[in-house]
């Protein structure tokens, strides 16, 4: 991980992202780029004033990171829409990772769609780390959610290429399908029969996970199997708390990929609900890695 872009709007949320990016930059000896986007769809006098004020703040912040935190750092102010400016800057800087703060949770409806965070993740062509947790040190434990698809293989390979897994205890989580559970409940079957059915599905899933780990050539991870009896996103978030893990790794696409621009519902749920950091990894634009 040689280059990290961290987006800031000078809010408390952004401060959390900068603190996490700083820790990663120090750990991996990476170059850190602070990026602030000024919306240019407003009168030019306002744009110029915001640009000047942002430049001054970024100069001070960069000086602090370089002199006090011993981080290689620079900055740039970008004109445009926030999410587009962030992803464009990351492309121009050949960033390995984009770090953003948590999305704003709306008071009346806790949704992700439409926020700068969601749009950045949806349009990014490289991994995006949403820094939800309060950074207290390097990551120690990560949970990687997988549906055992080719896109999940790509997700893990790309996460490994960042170097994060070399320094972490990694748990592979597969929430396996139990399609017959609903039918058994409606048929009023006894609990022991349900448990026997779930045990059979778990045994099948274990074989599939073993084959999956063989394909990705990553034996240094433990495995966790859980039945899909509840909301899958909630199961992923709860598992991260149980471990406990500071980081959740998940792909932005699932088996039913309709278009590159769509975020899978499970991924969206994790991004919306998790209080742990989430590393969202998009598939390559030319498709899964073979």
pLDDT tens for residues 88-131?
A: 999 999 999 999 998 665 544 444 545 777 788 888 889 999 99
- Give the Cα separation of 281 and 136 in Å (integer): 23
Q: DSSP of the chain, one letter per residue?
A: --EEEEE--SSHHHHHHHHHHHHHHHHHT-EEEEEEEE--SS-HHHHHHHHHHHHHHHHHHHHHHHHTT---EEEEEEES-HHHHHHHHHHHTT-SEEEEPPPPPPSS----TTSHHHHHHHH-SS-EEE--SPP-SS--EEEEEE-SSHHHHHHHHHHHHTTGGGGSEEEEEEEE--TTHHHHHHTT--HHHHHHHHHHHHHHHHHHHHHHHHHHT--SEEEEEEE-SS-HHHHHHHHHHHTT-SEEEEES--SS---TTPPPHHHHHHHHH-SSEEEEEPPPTT----
What is the CATH number for 226?
3.40.50.620
Whether residues 45 and 160 share a domain: the answer is no
On whether both 64 and 206 belong to a single domain, the answer is no
pLDDT at 25: 96
Q: Which two tokens stand for residue 76?
A: 């740039």
Please tell me whether residues 172 and 285 are part of one structural domain.
yes
- Angle at the Cα of 275 from the Cα atoms of 118 and 133, rounded to 5 degrees: 95
Domain end point (choices 135, 163, 181): 135
Q: Are residues 127 and 227 in the same domain?
A: no
Same domain for 206 and 180, yes or no, is yes
- Do 45 and 88 lie in one domain? The reply is yes
Structural domains of the chain, count = 2
Give the per-residue pLDDT at 263.
Answer: 52
Domain boundary among 83, 108, 135: 135
User: Are 94 and 218 contained in the same domain?
Assistant: no
The residue out of 101, 135, 169 marking a domain boundary is 135
User: Residue 13 corresponds to which tokens in the numbers above?
Assistant: 């949320």
Instruction: Please tell me whether residues 276 and 175 are part of one structural domain.
Output: yes
Q: What is the pLDDT of residue 255?
A: 42
Same domain membership, residue 148 and residue 123: no
| 26 and 145 part of one domain | no
Please calculate the CA angle 245-8-45 and round it to the nearest 5 degrees. Answer: 165
Nearest alpha-carbon partner for 24 in 119, 127, 145, 108? 127
Q: Are residues 188 and 283 in the same domain?
A: yes
Q: Tens of pLDDT along 9-56?
A: 998 889 999 999 999 999 999 999 999 999 988 899 999 999 999 999
Q: What is the pLDDT of residues 251-279, one digit of tens each?
A: 986 444 333 334 567 888 898 889 999 99
Could you give the CA distance from residue 60 to residue 194 in angstroms, rounded to a whole number? 62
- pLDDT tens string 136-187: 899 999 999 999 988 889 889 999 999 988 889 999 999 988 765 555 554 5
28 and 117 both lie in a single domain: yes
- What is the domain range of residue 269? 139-290
Model confidence over 192-202: pLDDT tens digits? 777 787 888 88
């Amino acid at each position: 991980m040689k280059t990290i872009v961290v987006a800031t709007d000078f809010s408390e949320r952004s401060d959390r992202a900068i603190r996490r990016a700083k820790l990663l930059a120090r750990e991996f000896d990476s170059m850190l780029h602070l990026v602030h986007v000024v919306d240019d769809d407003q009168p030019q006098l306002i744009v110029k004033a915001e640009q000047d004020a942002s430049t001054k703040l970024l100069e001070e912040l960069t000086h602090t990171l370089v002199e006090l935190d011993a981080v290689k750092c620079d900055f740039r102010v970008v004109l445009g829409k926030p999410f587009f400016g962030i992803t464009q800057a990351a492309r121009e800087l050949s960033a390995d990772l984009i770090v953003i703060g948590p999305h704003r949770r709306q008071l009346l409806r806790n949704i992700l769609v439409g926020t700068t965070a969601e749009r950045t993740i949806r349009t990014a062509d490289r991994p995006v780390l949403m820094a939800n947790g309060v950074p207290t040190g390097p990551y120690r434990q990560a949970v990687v959610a997988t549906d055992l698809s080719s896109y999940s293989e790509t997700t893990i390979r790309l996460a490994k290429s960042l170097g994060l897994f070399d320094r972490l205890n990694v748990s592979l989580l597969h929430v396996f399908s139990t399609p017959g559970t609903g039918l058994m409940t409606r048929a009023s079957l006894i609990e022991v029969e349900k448990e026997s059915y779930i045990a059979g599905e778990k045994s099948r899933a274990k074989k599939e996970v073993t084959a999956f780990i063989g394909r990705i050539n990553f034996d240094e991870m433990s495995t966790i199997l859980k039945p899909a009896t509840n909301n899958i996103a909630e199961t992923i978030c709860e598992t991260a708390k149980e471990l406990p893990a500071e980081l959740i790794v998940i792909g932005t696409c699932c088996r039913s990929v309709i278009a590159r621009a769509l975020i899978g519902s499970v991924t969206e749920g994790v991004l919306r609900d998790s209080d742990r950091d989430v590393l969202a990894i998009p598939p390559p634009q030319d498709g899964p890695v073979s």
